[in-house]
């Protein structure tokens, strides 16, 4: 990542995230994502080295090289609470994990996300959705996320690390003026009640996903 991108990433992590424009936060439902590998880190490194992608040479082109570089940058960044790896041997579909930041109501909660990269990446934004149900003012029941950098504020300077850090920040600093979940937006005004409801729903979701 060049110096301009690094500066941009730091600024993004510190600024107040803005909602996407009205009506733009409801993308079509995407197909369900397959389960993650048992050893995602090993699979990710293998995918990066192989440059595997269903359409053949695309992964060996500039988009594939860009994603390989982003994978290595993310793995070496040392950022707490975020990670992402390609799904199986497909470099264009990743599964990410975000842990709620300390000091927020989401602290110690873990969420999985899907990231799908278009052939026009990085000039076109990836499609990012929560796989783990997330009770949050800016996340709907299908896992869609209302975040400006995933919509009209996307820039080719952003990368996977920027996306994950931005979503992690959004968890603790939602924009309740442009909610996708109106119930969560109203309850957010009462932090104690919100945290209690969040913990209860998260526990039920985790229990229902256990084998």
Which residues are the active-site residues? 146
Give the 3-state secondary structure of residue 96. strand
* Two structure tokens written together for 46: 């293998």
Alpha-carbon distance 21 to 173, whole Å? 18
**C-beta atoms surrounding 102 within 10 Å:** 11
Q: Any long-range contacts for 76-85 (C-beta under 8 Å, 24+ apart)?
A: 77/161, 79/161, 79/164, 79/165, 81/168, 82/161, 82/164, 82/165, 82/168, 83/164, 84/113, 84/115, 84/160, 84/164, 85/36, 85/37, 85/40, 85/41, 85/43, 85/44, 85/47
Give the angle 144-148-154 at the CA atoms, nearest 5°: 105
């Amino acid at each position: 990542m060049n110096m301009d991108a690094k500066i941009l990433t730091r600024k993004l992590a510190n600024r107040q995230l803005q909602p996407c424009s009205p009506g733009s936060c409801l993308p079509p439902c995407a197909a369900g994502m397959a389960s993650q590998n048992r050893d995602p880190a090993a699979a990710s490194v293998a995918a990066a080295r192989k440059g595997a992608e269903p359409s053949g040479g695309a992964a060996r082109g500039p988009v594939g090289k860009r994603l390989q570089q982003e994978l290595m940058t993310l793995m070496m960044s040392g950022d707490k609470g975020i990670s992402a790896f390609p799904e199986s041997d497909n470099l264009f579909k990743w599964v990410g994990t975000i842990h709620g930041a300390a000091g927020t109501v989401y602290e110690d909660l873990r969420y999985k996300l899907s990231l799908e990269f278009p052939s026009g990446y990085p000039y076109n934004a990836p499609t990012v959705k929560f796989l783990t149900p997330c009770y949050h003012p800016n996340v709907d029941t299908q896992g869609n996320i209302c975040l400006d950098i995933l919509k009209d504020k996307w820039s080719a300077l952003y990368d996977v690390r920027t996306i994950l850090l931005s979503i992690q920040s959004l968890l603790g600093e939602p924009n309740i003026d442009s909610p996708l979940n109106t119930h969560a937006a109203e309850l957010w005004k009462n932090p104690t009640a919100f945290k209690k409801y969040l913990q209860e729903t998260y526990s039920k979701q985790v229990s229902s996903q256990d084998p």
